[in-house]
Amino acid sequence: MLKLVGKAPGNRRSVVQQTRVNNSLSPDRMEEGNFVDEFKVHRAIHADHPSLPGHFPDAPIVPGVVILDEMLAALLESRENCQLTSIRTVKFLVPLKPEQLFTIYFSASHDRASEVNFCCRIEDRIIVEGRLEVCWGDKVNS
Domains annotated on the chain, with CATH: 14-140 (3.10.129.10)
Backbone φ/ψ region at 44: left (φ over 0), alpha (ψ -120 to 50), beta: beta
What pLDDT is attached to residue 61?
95
pTM for this structure?
0.75
Helix, strand, coil content of the chain in percent (nearest 5) = 15, 40, 40
pLDDT tens series, the chain, 142 aa: 333 344 544 455 555 555 555 433 222 332 344 557 788 999 999 999 999 988 888 889 999 999 999 999 999 888 778 899 999 999 999 999 999 999 999 998 877 778 999 999 999 999 999 999 999 876 544 4
